[in-house]
Structures are given as C-alpha cells and as structure tokens.
C-alpha cells in the first residue's frame, strides 16, 4: 500500500493506494499547523488499515514555501568570494553581504588566494551584528570548493556554534548569483525544517508506522524524509509536482499532455511531453529571486473557479482574489463557477442563484445571463490557453548549443488536456477544444495531487567532472576531489565512476537501485588542445536514478 | 537605430560544441567552452538587460543573395554555417523591428574572410555572416546605409571584397599590419572601388599596439567618419584576436579595451569573428562586450594574468599619422575617382588571385564593373579555382546591386541569356539583388536553377 499526502495552501488531500487502485481519500482544510493537517488527513485514509501493510508514505508540503514567504527564520549573512567579473551592485541578496578576496576560474584553478585576516575581520563584524548563520559562496566553487571549505574551517574554529552552508553543495550548477540565493535559503530553512521533520517522525512513530517516508520535491522526485534535511529548499513548490505526477498516473503512458489544475483563484499548468513532466530549463524563482532549485516548468494563471468577476468600463474582468465561494454556492460575488453553472458545465450550486449572478454582472452591458456566462467562460478559457500556447512556444525556443540539438528540435502538440483540482471539470472541455485536444477529467481528479505524491519515486542525481590535464575528478554535489591518471582515464571510466558513486549514495539513502536502471542525463566531452596537440580531456557527466512514477492508477478505481 | 529606452540586448550564444574544421584546428569544439562557463557562472542570461534567443537556420537563398558558391551553396557549407548566419539575421531583424536595443551573435563558425565567390574555406570562414545579414536587411527592411567595423586582428578581406564597389556600405577595418599576419592585405591604400572611394578604410596596426592607440583611432577617426556617414545600422565584426594573449595575433588589447571600444562604437549588432586565446581572453572579452552592449558596468571584468601593457612611442606616432591620412581620404570621398589607366571603355577591370589557406585552393578572378552614371554598375566575375592542380572549370558570376538602374539590370540579364548559348564556362550565376532572384546555370547539363526570396 502506498500513501500520498499533499498539504496545499487551502486543502490537504490524502489517498491510500491499494493494489494500484484508490482505496481511500481525504480532503480537509489546511490548518495553520501543517503537522496537524498532515496527521488529520493521514488518520482518515489509514482508518481500518494495518500500518504494517504500508510500504511507502510520500508527503508534499508547503512547509518551506510558508517559511520563506513568512520570513520565519533567523537572519543569515552571506560571505561572497566573487573574484573579478560582474559587478555585484546589480544584485540585491536582501541581507548583509561581505565580499572576500579570492578567486577561482572556470577550470577550478586558484587565481587569487584567500586573505585569512580579512575573513576573521568579516566574522567579527557579523558576530557584532548578531549573525549566527552564514552562507559562504564562491564563484566557480562547484569547480573547486577549497576556498569555501577553508572559510568554513575558520568559522568552525572561531565560532563553533554557527551554522554554515557552502555554495558548492547548495548550488552546484554554474550560476553564481543563483548559488548565493540558494545557499542563503538553505541556510535559513534548514533548522526549522529539521524541527518539522523530527515532529513528523515522532508522530508517525506514535502511530506505529514503520513504512519508508519520503518528501516530494519541486522536480517531481522524492527524497527520504531523513535525507531531505540536506537540501530543504528542494521541497519547495512540490504541490504542482504532485498534481502533475497525479495526471501522469491517471492517464495513458507516453502521451504528450497538458495538466491543468484549476484552483480557487489560480490555475497551474504543467506539460508532460511523451510521458515526461517538463522541467524548467533553469531553477525556480523563490520569493522573487532566482535560485538553482530544480523544478517542473509550471506556470500559474491568476484565475480560478472562485475569482471575483467585475466590470471595468465596458469589459468583464477577473480579480485574482477570493471573497468566498461562488455566488451559486452562497458566496458574495459572481465567479467563473456561476458562469459554468449557467452553461450546464458543472452541477455545483444552485442554478437560479448562478443566473442571478450572471444577470447582475452582464445587465449594465445589455447582456443576458447566458451571454454573460459565455463571455466569462471565454475569458477564463482564453487566458489559460494563451498561457499553454506560450509554454509550448517557449519550450520550442529554448536555446540549444549544439547543431545536433538544434536540428532535432521538434514541434510537439499535446493530444489530451487533463483537468485536475476542484474547478477543472467545467473548463476542461472548452480548453481542450481550443487546443484541438481530447479533454480528460479522470476519476479522483480532485485528489490527483495526493495520488501524484503516492506514486512519486525517489530520485538521486550525481555529477562528475574530470579534467585529465589537471589530473583529477570531482563529484560536484559532494565536493569530493580525487586524482586520476592522465593517460588511462576515459569516458567509459568516467561513466563507471559516476554510476558507482551514485549507487553508493543511493545505498546510503536506503534506496535499492539496479546499475542498469541509471540514466545519463548529461554528457559532455571536450578535447583540450594547446598548440596543436591534445593536452587533456574534460568530461562532464550527470547520472540519476530513474524518475517518473512507481505505478499507474486504475482509471475506474475500486 | 539606437533607441535605448528599456529595451534589452539580444544574445545568441551558439558555441557549436559539435563542429570543428579539424580536431586540433583553432576553430574547434572547445573554442567557446570557457566562455560558456564564464557567462553561465556570472548569471548573464538571467540579467533583466539581456534576452537570450535560440538561433534559426538561414535559408540557402539568403546565402545566394550575397555569395556565389561554386558549384552550389549546399556544396560549400554545413548546417553550422547556416546557423551562424541565421543567428545574425534573427538578431538584426529583432533590432530593426525595435524589439531589441542591440545584439551580439556570439556564434561560430566565423565569416569575415569569405569573399563574394566561395570555392571553399579560407581563413576559417566559408560564408560571411555579417554580409549575408546586411544584404538581408537591405532586401527585407529597406535599410540603405550600413557601416561595418571590423575589430578582428586579421584584415576582414572577405567583407571588403563583398562591399568594395558599394557606396552605401562603409567598411572600416583595423588589424595587425598585413606584412606580419594572414591574410596579408588591408593596407591603407585599399580604399574601395571607383564608385565607392573611401567607403573602405583600412588601418593596419604595428604588432604591439595597445588599447590606448585603438581607442585613439575610435575617437579620432572611426566615430567622426560614422558621424558623417550616418549609417542606419552599425555592425561590429567582433574578432577578439587582438588580445594580448592571442596565439595568432601579436597585439596588446585587453578585455577592458574591447569593452570600452564597444561602448564607444555602440554597434547595433556585434558578430563574433576570430579570437583563439580560448582560456585567457575569450571568457573575459566576450563578457566585456556583452556588458558594454547592455550598458552595464564592466570595470571588474579583468583577465587573471593582466599586466601593465605599453606600446612604443613609435607606434603612437604612426597611429596619429594614419588617422590624419584617412581623415584626408574621407574628405575626398565624393570626388570622382578613377584610375584611368585601368578603365577600358565602359568597364573597370581588375584581376585577383586568392588563396584559400585552409583547403589549399588557388582562385583566379577577373572582375569587370560596368561604369554607369546612374548607379554603382553591375559586376561580372570570371572565376576558376584549382585544388592541387585540379581545376574545377571557370564560372561566370553576374551581380546586380540593390541600387542598380534599369539599363544596367537589363544589360546584366542580357549578358546572362547570351552567355547561356555559348560553352565558355562550366557554371554561370546571376544575382539580381533588386528583384531578389538568384539563377544558376550548369553548362554541362543545360539545367537552370532559380531561387527567389
Ligand atoms: Zn581573426
Ligand atoms: Zn546603371
């Protein structure tokens, strides 16, 4: 049995999957205490279940989102080692920043050494300002983390109780400003997140639940609860991952589809291309700042079933605000749900009240209730379909750096539009029609997010970079650096090494992965020529355990 | 064209990581690898002032509008060339349409050594990205006056050749003295064809010239000339091999110098040309150019091994003299110029021998420009190339310029039709720029191909 729990902004959903079918579902309003919400939903779906039969529980929570949005964390300072290049005045890291001397280049070579006295002075000034949490971030630190590590050592010596996060671990991709932001957020959220994880563990223990527990990430993979504290920021924005995986689990495999999650005041759109949820080319934007957090390419349109409709001159417009439920369900103002009710596209609420809402809205423009309802539906549908078309276009226009890639870019067209979430049903037919697709509203659409959480698989990534001229390789995520032989090292060896390291890491996480299951997601080899002869090779590899979903859910349920 | 507002700088980064002339050639996969690392690590693509575009492929017709590829366009290029030219065209269109402030096609392969006729690769170039883009703009956007400033260490002999007779395209190139470097041309007395005097300006520089002298030339020669010429669009052939660490050049430019140059020149579009110090120069020079185009502070973009670079007083003296000479040439630009001894009747004739270093090809050309009072005149080129003593036969190329008068156009078409009936050549081409038609005729098969824009 698999259990999925998705704590959303408004509702907390849970499902129990038994033999590939939905066994129980729960939907409760999310409380201010997230743990309470999790447990309440969990208790509903686990009623009458022998906890020993549960194989896996996956949580998707807004924990980190709430922490960051509410700035409910201790203050964090940044010690940056940018070296020459971009002027840092263009960045606002929204905290105290001290620039340290030192520089590393693109191949991980030291250009400028650290100045230890300067570091000590920086620490004194941070201590005076009351900082106890510090992110240390160097430019090109994923290529050589020695400077960051040395600064951490000095901090440990002088201020052993400080909490330090290093850039090469928090932000291992090439992008220094994003690395700084990601490191800041990691440092800020780690401790409160840790507390949350511990209380989840306690609560589960109290219920005698011994199943493996995972946390869903923004990239639709999961991490064991235990290990998720290493990269807490990765669990941000897991809600859209949950619904997207839910759509994948509820529809046929290998299709190109659009998942449309119509909520109260926002609609989330995600793309699944040939059965693979589309990842954003760069990292997530968190609280207005760009990060290195891997995330699905999800777009939000500020309209939903409960959006408030009003007139702006001669135009009907919607406000991204919820005053209450739809008018037809006793709410105060006309909403898109009322329009759907008038058109017979939903059976929610009272038809008479819905007509009244549309009439009140449209009469100043001389429109009947039916005309108004049509107009409103068109408005909502076009704002969603325009965004969908834009997403496909953006995907097609993503830069490519190789001829092969550019020539093999294909135009993709979705074949189905899948509606999930409370308000989806009524709009999905129209959206699909507009895009020339088949509309699908699967059973359990309302808890697709929890289903998505339940079927999510753990994913682990590992990146290896070898520079045979300098005679070493590094594992980017761990900052491990080891010597290699300049002459006998080759691509095959690089790959074996990366796979071996990944398997070790997986074992450390308690995950069973077969070597043949490992996917290579990035592979780059360059000959380094100086003069007219080859002096070495550069290998860059990323391998990961297979992503995707653990199982498909029977359409009919049980 | 400059209308900064809050428009962005468009960037197409196409390093062609899967293309090389040969595995150890300077023009190889690795060339822009460290530049990529630097601009990605600096987060350049995330800047609100920058907009990154994916390149598109140019059409073969876009190539044929500018070049005579023998025997056909498809035989002389690869997809990489279409992508590099397509990138320049795409950015130019965005700039002309007002969607971008300016742009940088950070692409390879380069193109400024490619001449009108293309028998193969010379100086690492097959087709001339900037010239193709310029002709595209003239055709599709009615742009007339264009300036191309070539800042590569090598003389932009291809671009010079293509616009030699064109009074509407100003070509300015500064480069290391041709007596000391490939391609051995670009001397101060190469000033353009009889109808385009001083629309070609060459500033050969002694080895060891520094930022200071270059910026002196920009301030005292290039900017005043541009001010007079009033181009609607400025292109920078942004070669980076003037850098003090370049293995092919012997100059003393820095990243700061290149950035400052860009800031002064304010090109609408910069297109990467050469630059082979792939680790010590390119990551920094490219970044300096991008930041300068975007109007951002580039003062901390410094090479790790930057030293105090000085030049001899002799160089500074020479620089002042050549600036004087060219300012005088520029003043005389509209006086009729014709070396009378070379003009026979209605035609101006020149013979050229062109060597293709990369492929060991020798090309012999005989060019005739129709001297016309109403237009720049059409041009005919007889060309034959031999590869290891194996001649490909002679081709006749006829080019009708954008601003041709109707009688020159008619005469050129007549010539094409008449020549078809002879068996003097192996191939014949007609490039009709005003009508945007390209004809090619194969004398062996009697087949004609026609393409229209
Ligand atoms: Zn060059
Ligand atoms: Zn004429």
For residue B40, list chain A residues with Cβ-Cβ distance below 8 A. 174-175
Distance CA A524, CA A107 (A): 15
Answer yes or no: do B317 and B193 share one domain. yes
Chain A contact for B279, CB < 8 A? Answer: yes
Could you tell me the pLDDT band of residue A159, with boundaries at 50, 70 and 90?
very high
For residue A407, list chain B residues with Cβ-Cβ distance below 8 A. 79
Cβ within 8 Å, pair A529-B28: yes
Q: Hey, where are the domains in chain A?
A: 77-181, 461-544
* Mutation for testing the B interface, residue in A81, A82, A84 having most B CBs under 10 Å: A84
Helices A176-206/A34-45 angle, 10° precision: 50
* C-beta separation of B188 from B202 below 8 A: yes
Cβ within 8 Å, pair A532-B52: no
How many whole angstroms from B154 Cα to the centroid of ligand 1? 4
Distance CA B401, CA B419 (A): 20
Whether residue B2 lies inside any domain: the answer is no
Give the end of a domain, one of B305, B334, B363. B334
Answer yes or no: do B330 and B348 share one domain. no
pLDDT at residue number A285: 93
pLDDT at residue number A477: 83
Distance CA B119, CA B362 (A): 9
Chain A contact for B43, CB < 8 A? Answer: yes
Chain B contact for A107, CB < 8 A? Answer: yes
DSSP type of residue B222: I
Cβ within 8 Å, pair B33-A399: no
Give the end of a domain, one of B334, B359, B391. B334
For residue A526, list chain B residues with Cβ-Cβ distance below 8 A. 17, 29-30, 33
Answer yes or no: do B320 and B356 share one domain. no
Distance CA B203, CA B205 (A): 6
The pLDDT of B411-438, averaged and rounded, is 96
Burial (0-12, 13-18, 19+ Cβ within 10 Å), B372: middle
Residue A331, min C-alpha distance to chain B (Å): 42
Q: Does B1 score more than 50 pLDDT?
A: no
How many whole angstroms from B409 Cα to the centroid of ligand 2? 7
How many whole angstroms from B380 Cα to the centroid of ligand 2? 14
Question: Two tokens at B427?
Answer: 């191939």
Question: Two tokens at A312?
Answer: 């702006």
pLDDT at residue number A4: 96
* E-only strand ranges, B313-378: 343-344, 347-356, 361-370
Q: Which of B67, B81, B112, B113 is catalytic?
A: B113
Categorise residue B70: left if φ over 0, alpha if ψ from -120 to 50, beta otherwise. beta
Question: Two tokens at A331?
Answer: 């709410």
pLDDT at residue number B339: 52
Of A190, A77, A75, A183, nearest in space to A123 by CA: A77
Q: For residue B241, give the CATH number of its domain.
A: 3.40.800.20
> By three-state DSSP, how is residue B414 classified?
helix
DSSP assignment string, A392-450: HHHHHT----SHHHHHT------SEEEEESTTHHHHHHHHHHHHT-EEE--TTGGGHHH
Could you tell me the pLDDT band of residue B344, with boundaries at 50, 70 and 90?
low
Q: Over the stretch A93-130, which tens digit does the pLDDT of each residue have?
A: 999 999 999 999 999 999 999 999 999 999 999 999 99
Cβ within 8 Å, pair B41-A139: yes
Supply the ipTM of this predicted assembly.
Answer: 0.94
Answer yes or no: do B330 and B441 share one domain. no
Distance CA B441, CA B427 (A): 6
Q: Over the stretch A44-59, which tens digit does the pLDDT of each residue have?
A: 999 989 999 999 999 9
The values of phi and psi at residue A549, to 5°, are -115, 155
Question: Two tokens at B297?
Answer: 């502070």
Answer yes or no: do B288 and B271 share one domain. yes
Answer yes or no: do B225 and B260 share one domain. yes
For residue A85, list chain B residues with Cβ-Cβ distance below 8 A. 38, 42, 287, 300-301
Give the end of a domain, one of B304, B334, B364. B334
Q: Over the stretch B184-196, which tens digit does the pLDDT of each residue have?
A: 999 999 999 999 9
pLDDT at residue number B73: 94
Answer yes or no: do B94 and B148 share one domain. yes
Residue contacts between A and B (CB atoms, under 8 Å): 113
Could you tell me which residues come within 8 angstroms of residue A33 by beta carbon, excluding any fewer than 6 positions away?
none
Q: Does A500 score more than 70 pLDDT?
A: yes
Q: Please state, rounded to an integer, the average pLDDT across all residues of chain B.
A: 94
Q: Does A558 score more than 80 pLDDT?
A: no
Answer yes or no: do B383 and B235 share one domain. no
Cβ within 8 Å, pair B283-A403: no
Q: Total structural domains in chain B?
A: 2
List the domain range (segments joined by +) for residue B131. Answer: 7-334
For residue B13, list chain A residues with Cβ-Cβ distance below 8 A. 399, 401
Chain B contact for A93, CB < 8 A? Answer: no
* C-beta separation of A320 from A266 below 8 A: yes
The pLDDT of B152-164, averaged and rounded, is 98
* C-beta separation of B114 from B158 below 8 A: yes
Residues in chain A: 558
Chain A contact for B42, CB < 8 A? Answer: yes
Answer yes or no: do B266 and B197 share one domain. yes
How many CA within 13 A on the CB side of residue A485? 5
Q: Which ligand is nearest to the CA of B404?
A: 2
How many whole angstroms from B274 Cα to the centroid of ligand 1? 4
CA distances from A249 to A35, A188, B268 (A): 26, 35, 51
Q: Quote the pTM value.
A: 0.94
Clarify whether B25 is annotated catalytic.
no
> In B, residues 143-172, which contact A (CB 8 Å cutoff)?
none
Residue B298, min C-alpha distance to chain A (Å): 7
The pLDDT of B233-252, averaged and rounded, is 97
pLDDT at residue number B335: 76
Answer yes or no: do B416 and B437 share one domain. yes
Chain A contact for B99, CB < 8 A? Answer: no
Cβ within 8 Å, pair A90-B44: no
The pLDDT of A470-494, averaged and rounded, is 91
The pLDDT of A300-321, averaged and rounded, is 90
Cβ within 8 Å, pair B299-A87: yes
Answer yes or no: do B328 and B348 share one domain. no
Cβ within 8 Å, pair A532-B80: no
Q: Over the stretch A384-429, which tens digit does the pLDDT of each residue have?
A: 999 999 999 999 889 999 998 888 877 789 999 999 877 777 899 9
pLDDT at residue number A317: 93
How many whole angstroms from B229 Cα to the centroid of ligand 2? 23
Burial (0-12, 13-18, 19+ Cβ within 10 Å), B21: middle
Q: Over the stretch B354-388, which tens digit does the pLDDT of each residue have?
A: 999 888 899 999 999 999 999 999 999 999 998 86
CA distances from A89 to A79, A92, A96, A97, B6 (A): 15, 7, 13, 11, 19
> In A, residues 21-80, which contact B (CB 8 Å cutoff)?
none
Percent of chain B residues topping a pLDDT of 70: 96
Whether residue B1 lies inside any domain: the answer is no
Q: Please state, rounded to an integer, the average pLDDT across all residues of chain A.
A: 92
Answer yes or no: do B39 and B62 share one domain. yes
pLDDT at residue number B4: 53
Of A170, A180, A211, A253, nearest in space to A5 by CA: A211
- Nearest CB to B42; choose among A85, A89, A533: A85
For residue B55, list chain A residues with Cβ-Cβ distance below 8 A. 400, 406
Q: Does A353 score more than 80 pLDDT?
A: yes
Of A245, A304, A273, A277, nearest in space to A553 by CA: A245
Helices (H) and strands (E) in chain A, counts: 15, 27
């Amino acid at each position: 049995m698999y259990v999925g729990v998705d704590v959303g902004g408004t509702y907390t959903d849970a499902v129990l999957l038994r033999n590939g079918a939905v066994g129980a579902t729960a939907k409760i309003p999310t409380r201010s205490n997230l743990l309470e919400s999790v447990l309440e939903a969990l208790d509903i779906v686990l009623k009458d279940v022998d906890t020993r039969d549960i194989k896996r529980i996956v949580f998707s929570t807004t924990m980190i989102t709430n922490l960051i949005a509410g700035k409910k964390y201790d203050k964090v300072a940044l010690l940056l080692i940018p070296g020459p290049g971009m002027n840092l005045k263009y960045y606002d890291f929204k905290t105290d920043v001290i620039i340290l001397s030192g520089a590393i280049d693109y191949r991980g070579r030291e250009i400028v050494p650290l100045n230890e006295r300067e570091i000590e002075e920086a620490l004194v000034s941070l201590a005076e300002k009351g900082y106890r949490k510090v992110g240390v971030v160097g430019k090109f630190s994923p290529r050589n983390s020695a400077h960051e590590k040395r600064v951490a050592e000095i901090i440990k010596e002088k201020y052993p109780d400080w909490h330090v996060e290093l850039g090469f671990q928090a932000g291992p991709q090439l992008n220094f400003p994003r690395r700084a932001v990601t490191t800041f957020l990691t440092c800020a959220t780690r401790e409160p997140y840790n507390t949350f994880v511990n209380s989840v563990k306690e609560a589960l223990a109290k219920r005698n639940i011994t199943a493996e527990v995972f946390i869903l990430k923004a990239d639709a993979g999961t991490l064991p609860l235990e290990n998720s504290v290493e990269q807490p920021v990765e669990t941000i924005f897991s809600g859209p991952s949950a619904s997207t995986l839910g759509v994948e689990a509820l529809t046929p495999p290998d299709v190109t589809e659009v998942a449309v999650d119509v909520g109260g005041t926002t609609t989330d759109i995600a793309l699944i291309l040939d059965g693979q949820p589309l990842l954003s080319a760069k990292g997530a934007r968190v609280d207005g700042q760009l990060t290195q957090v891997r995330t699905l390419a999800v777009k939000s349109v500020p309209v939903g079933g409960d959006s408030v409709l009003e007139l702006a001159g001669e135009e009907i417009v919607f406000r991204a605000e919820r005053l209450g439920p739809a008018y037809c369900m006793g709410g105060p103002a006309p909403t898109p749900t009322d329009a759907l009710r008038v058109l017979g596209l939903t059976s929610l609420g009272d038809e008479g009240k819905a007509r009244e809402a549309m009439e009140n809205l449209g009469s100043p423009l001389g429109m009947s209730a039916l005309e108004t309802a049509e107009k409103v539906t068109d408005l909502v549908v076009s704002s969603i379909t325009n965004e969908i078309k834009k997403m496909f276009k953006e995907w097609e226009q993503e830069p490519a750096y190789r001829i092969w890639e550019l020539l093999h870019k294909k135009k993709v067209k979705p074949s189905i539009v899948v509606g999930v979430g409370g308000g989806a049903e009524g709009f999905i037919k129209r959206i699909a029609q507009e895009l020339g697709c088949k509309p699908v509203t699967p059973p359990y659409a309302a808890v697709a997010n929890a289903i998505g959480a339940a079927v999510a698989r753990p994913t682990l990534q590992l990146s290896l970079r070898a520079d045979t001229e300098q005679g070493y390789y590094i594992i980017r995520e761990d900052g491990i650096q080891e010597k290699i032989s300049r002459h006998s090292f080759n691509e095959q060896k690089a790959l074996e090494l990366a796979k071996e390291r990944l398997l070790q890491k997986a074992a450390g996480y308690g995950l069973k992965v077969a070597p043949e299951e490992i996917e290579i997601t990035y592979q780059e080899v360059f000959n380094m020529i100086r003069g007219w002869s080859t002096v070495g090779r550069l290998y860059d590899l990323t391998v990961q355990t297979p992503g995707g979903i653990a199982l498909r859910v029977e359409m009919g349920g049980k | 064209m400059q209308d900064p507002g809050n428009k962005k700088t468009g960037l197409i980064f196409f390093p062609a990581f899967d293309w090389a002339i040969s595995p150890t050639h300077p023009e190889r996969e690795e060339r822009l690898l460290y530049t990529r690392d630097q601009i990605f690590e600096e987060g350049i693509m995330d800047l609100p002032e920058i907009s990154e575009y994916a390149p598109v492929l140019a059409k073969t017709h876009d190539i044929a509008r500018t070049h005579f590829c023998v025997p056909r366009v498809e035989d002389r290029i690869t997809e990489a060339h279409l992508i590099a030219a397509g990138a320049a065209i795409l950015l130019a269109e965005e700039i002309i349409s007002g969607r971008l402030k300016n742009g940088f096609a950070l692409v390879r392969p380069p193109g400024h050594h490619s001449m009108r006729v293309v028998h193969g690769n010379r100086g690492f170039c097959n087709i001339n990205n900037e010239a193709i883009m310029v002709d595209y703009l003239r055709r599709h956007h009615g742009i007339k006056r264009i300036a191309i400033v070539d800042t590569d260490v090598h003389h932009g002999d291809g671009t010079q050749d293509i616009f030699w007779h064109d009074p509407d395209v100003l070509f300015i190139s500064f480069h290391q003295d041709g007596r000391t470097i490939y391609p051995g041309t670009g001397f101060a007395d190469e000033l353009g064809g009889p109808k385009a005097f001083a629309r070609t300006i060459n500033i050969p520089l002694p080895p060891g010239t520094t930022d200071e002298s270059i910026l002196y030339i920009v301030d005292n020669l290039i900017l005043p000339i541009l001010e007079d010429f009033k181009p609607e669009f400025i292109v920078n052939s942004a070669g980076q091999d003037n850098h003090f660490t370049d293995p092919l050049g012997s100059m003393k430019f820095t990243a700061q110098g290149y950035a400052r140059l860009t800031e002064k020149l304010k090109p609408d579009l910069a297109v990467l040309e050469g630059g082979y110090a792939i680790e010590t120069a390119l990551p920094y020079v490219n970044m300096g150019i991008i930041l300068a185009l975007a109007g951002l502070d580039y003062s901390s973009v410094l090479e790790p091994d930057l030293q105090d670079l000085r030049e001899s007083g002799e160089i500074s003296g020479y620089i002042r003299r050549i600036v004087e000479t060219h300012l005088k040439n520029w003043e005389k630009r509209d006086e009729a110029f014709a070396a009378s001894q070379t003009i026979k009747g209605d035609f101006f004739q020149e013979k050229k021998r062109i060597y293709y270093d990369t492929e060991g090809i020798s090309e012999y050309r005989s060019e005739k420009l129709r001297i016309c009072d109403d237009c720049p005149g059409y041009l005919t080129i007889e060309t034959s190339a031999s590869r290891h003593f194996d001649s490909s036969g002679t081709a006749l190329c006829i080019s009708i310029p954008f601003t041709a008068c109707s009688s020159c156009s008619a005469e050129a078409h007549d010539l094409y039709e008449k020549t078809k009936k002879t068996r003097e050549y192996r191939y014949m081409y007609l490039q009709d720029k005003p009508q945007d038609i390209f004809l090619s005729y194969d004398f062996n098969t009697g087949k004609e191909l026609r393409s229209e824009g």
